[in-house]
Amino acid sequence: MRTHQLVLHWIENELSAGRLAVGGRLPAERSLAEQLKVSRTSVREAIRVLEAMGVVRAGVGSGPEAGTVVISDPATALGSALRLHVATRHLPVADIVETRVLLESWAAAKAVPDAPVLDEAAALVEAMAAENLPVNDFLALDVRFHLALADAAGNAVVSAMMGSLRESIQGYAADLTANLPDWEATSCRLRTEHRDILAAIRAGEGGTAARLVASHIEGFYQEAGLAPDR
């Protein structure tokens, strides 16, 4: 077993045992190295891994924002991993779209109609109606809208998975908009569909919302044409 993995296991044990919890702080790198009888380098490698997984956040200086503290941010963690794997071309974009449809239509069907995140989703819909909104800003708001819908179902794992798809989604969406014949018309249609989806969820018509979401996502993907590779 490599040294940094020893550190990783130690930290995982502390988490499982409850001696470390979200909001808590890891011992300082130098203390931890001394305590585990390893070099500071190995401790740092382990912390880098945990940071990449969204389990800790490292901050310099002193005070409440400093030091290495335990957080819980599964989405961005899985996100960068997925983005890299898409870069290796071993995760086809079509599969990502299919997974989106699966997760989001389920979330739409299960969403509780009075979830607070739906207010946020509504605000995003309005923001997307702004005049002269750059395409990339529109897409960023669009992704946030869909993430809000996923959150409304109240399943942390599904939310994390949707969040992990975020960067990949925005990447392929930006590529696809270049193929659209008429962005104005498309964006207008997308806005209308967003409103319909939101209305269906608020009305408690989960089945309708799920169908609308599925056709919304697939419609955009097919209108822009399937990307040749990537």
Partner DNA sequence: CGTCCTCCTGTGGTCTAACCACACTCTAAA
Partner DNA sequence: TTTAGAGTGTGGTTAGACCACAGGAGGACG
Helix residue ranges, H only, the chain: 3-16, 29-36, 40-52, 74-87, 93-110, 117-127, 135-151, 156-177, 183-202, 206-223
Chain positions 21 to 60 lying near a second copy, rule: CB under 8 A, are 21-22, 41, 44-45, 48-50, 52-55
Residue 31 interacts with, from DNA, a second copy, none (CB under 5-8 Å by kind): DNA
CB within 8 Å of 69: residues ≥ 6 apart: 23, 24, 25, 26, 56, 57, 59
Only segment of 115-123, 161-169, 187-195, 203-211 that touches a second copy (CB under 8 A): 161-169
CA dist., res. 47 & res. 25, Å (int)? 12
Between 64 and 134, name the residue whose CB sits nearer to DNA: 64
| Closest to 194 (Cα-Cα) out of 222, 217, 166, 168 | 217
- The CA-based dihedral angle spanning residues 84, 89, 91, 93, taken in that order and rounded to the nearest 10 degrees: 100
Smallest separation (angstroms) from DNA to the CB of 52: 12
Q: How many residues does the chain have?
A: 230
Between 130 and 178, name the residue whose CB sits nearer to a second copy: 178
| Closest to 128 (Cα-Cα) out of 116, 112, 144 | 144
Between 33 and 77, name the residue whose CB sits nearer to a second copy: 77
Spatial contact of 85 and 30, defined as CB atoms under 8 Å apart: no
For residue 52, state whether it binds DNA (rule: CB under 7 A): no
For residue 39, state whether it binds DNA (rule: CB under 7 A): yes
What does the per-residue mask of binding to DNA show for 168-207, with x meaning CB under 7 A?
----------------------------------------
Residue 20 β-bridge partners: none
Only segment of 143-151, 158-166, 175-183, 216-224 that touches a second copy (CB under 8 A): 158-166
Chosen residue from 18, 23, 63, 228 binding DNA by CB under 7 A: 63
For residue 3, state whether it binds DNA (rule: CB under 7 A): yes
CB within 8 Å of 190: residues ≥ 6 apart: 128, 142, 216, 220
Contact set with a second copy (CB under 8 A): 4, 12, 15-16, 21-22, 41, 44-45, 48-50, 52-55, 70, 72, 74, 77-78, 80-85, 87-92, 95-96, 98-99, 102-103, 106, 155-158, 160-161, 164-165
Contact set with DNA (CB under 7 A): 2-4, 26, 28-31, 33, 37-42, 44-45, 47, 58-68
